[in-house]
Amino acid sequence: MTWRSPLLDRPGAVAASGPDAGVAWHYGDPVAEQRALERGAAVVDQSHLAVISVTGADRLTWLNSLTSQDLTALPPRRSTETLLLTPQGRLEAAVCVVDDGETTWLITEVAQRESLTKWLDSMRFAMRVEVVDVTDRWAVLGEAIAAEGNDGEPVTWWDTWPEVRAGGTRYGVATEDHPGVERAWRLVLVPRDQLETEIFGREQAGWRLAGTWASEAIRIAAWRPRFAREVDERAIPHEVDWLRTAVHLHKGCYRGQETIARVHNLGKPPRRLVQLHLDGSVDTLPAPGSVVKLGAKTVGFVTSSARHHIEGPIALALIKRATALGEELMVEAIEASVATVEQGTEPVETAVAPTLVAATQVEVVSAEGLSVDRPAGHGPLLKGLPRTGMIGRP
């Protein structure tokens, strides 16, 4: 059953669609909501996200053996993120992780709720762990606060993007030059039956209630990948620069590790994430899945799009890595507008013919396809050297 937030009954609320169905897209003034969120004076209803608890003495070492991040020594109240991969290294789930000293809390997209819980439970074997889907008991709030709190605060996951964590690497610009350093974001766990009370308390303190339009626009401007948007059935972490925060290159074995290591050490990701600045003179915002073209050639597709209160219409897209930098791209935009029958109703998608929208690309993942600390190659062999075992023979 799809969750429907009680906050959708607020005056002016417009329901979101897609992976954000169940919460509000905005509450009547998305520009003001974005500005308030950037000031750290807004809260976003994220109660459609899934929450899974893992308890037991072996919980961190067990999770460490299954996923991409080093979790063995995760201190209480410190946040990280990890990826669940297929044996071929494809992305299967992205998980926000925080441990409170007794329980490891996992926050993920609602579409991964059932499959992730079931798979983790099937992998317990003789380990001292218990996996429970607690989404019906716990809700999530999003806030733009940067500094980590203390033990007296609710369980909170802090986004460290775009910092390169220990054991990670980057395929894009240095952290200090990354637009993501301007974005602060955290997810706060609250009892689901106290969701409205928690929101009201923040409003009493002068905060504004914002929708996912605001949080998504700021995320896209920060080049921050999201599993529900930037990932398809072929995606690997290198393509979206997720080795910054979610992969430890030097930890023990886990499913999909061979692909992570092989691409990092020897290969190149076949695609790369880019930000698109869209022609603002065209009143069309391309929906995820809209085709990106270079001339007559299809080179990729839009993964996320939004109207940013400063940058205007922007998007993230996955394109072929070899696509030339500096070339103007065209997007066959399937309009992302959402119509509603009346306030607070479920969104009704409007089918429209594609519109061509010009777009300039900003490099997020290097077109060279190399991380900054890729091991150096051995270089070409010298001609004329004897073969192994032939030295000293006539």
271-283: per-residue pLDDT in tens?
Answer: 999 999 999 988 8
Neighbouring residues of 355: CB distance < 8 A, sequence distance ≥ 6: 282, 284, 332, 333, 335
For the residues of 39-62, what is the DSSP string, one character each? TT-EEEE-TTSEEEEEESTTHHHH
The Cα 65–Cα 58 span in angstroms is: 11
- The pLDDT value recorded for residue 376 is 81
CA angle, residues 304, 309, 311, in degrees to nearest 5: 70
- The CATH number covering residue 292 comes to 2.40.30.110
- The CATH number covering residue 192 comes to 3.30.1360.120
Q: Are residues 141 and 207 in the same domain?
A: yes
Q: How many domains does the chain have?
A: 2
- Residue 64 belongs to a domain: yes
- Residue 265 belongs to a domain: no
- Residue 98 belongs to a domain: yes
Q: Are residues 21 and 87 in the same domain?
A: yes
The Cα 266–Cα 314 span in angstroms is: 33
Q: Are residues 318 and 216 in the same domain?
A: no
302-358: per-residue pLDDT in tens?
Answer: 999 999 999 999 999 999 999 999 999 999 998 754 444 344 455 555 545 689 999
Does an H or E element contain 140, and which? strand 138-143
More confident residue, 73 or 241: 241
Query: Could you tell me the residue range of the domain that residue 187 belongs to?
Result: 7-240
Q: Are residues 188 and 311 in the same domain?
A: no
- Residue 336 belongs to a domain: yes
- Residue 379 belongs to a domain: no
Does an H or E element contain 278, and which? strand 271-278
- Residue 388 belongs to a domain: no
Q: Are residues 289 and 329 in the same domain?
A: yes
For the residues of 303-349, what is the DSSP string, one character each? EEEEEETTTEEEEEEEEETTSPTTPPEEEEEPB--EE-SSTTSPPEE
Q: Are residues 34 and 171 in the same domain?
A: yes
Q: Are residues 13 and 155 in the same domain?
A: yes
203-251: per-residue pLDDT in tens?
Answer: 999 999 999 999 999 999 999 999 999 999 999 999 999 999 999 999 9
Whether residue 109 is predicted with pLDDT greater than 50 in this model: the reply is: yes
Q: Are residues 128 and 19 in the same domain?
A: yes
Q: Are residues 25 and 122 in the same domain?
A: yes
Q: Are residues 65 and 198 in the same domain?
A: yes
Q: Are residues 81 and 214 in the same domain?
A: yes
- Residue 313 belongs to a domain: yes
Q: Are residues 60 and 209 in the same domain?
A: yes
**331: nearest Cα among 342, 341, 320, 317:** 317
Does an H or E element contain 80, and which? strand 79-85
**Which residues sit opposite 80 in a β-bridge?**
97
The Cα 60–Cα 321 span in angstroms is: 36
Amino acid at 367: A
Q: What is the pTM of this model?
A: 0.91
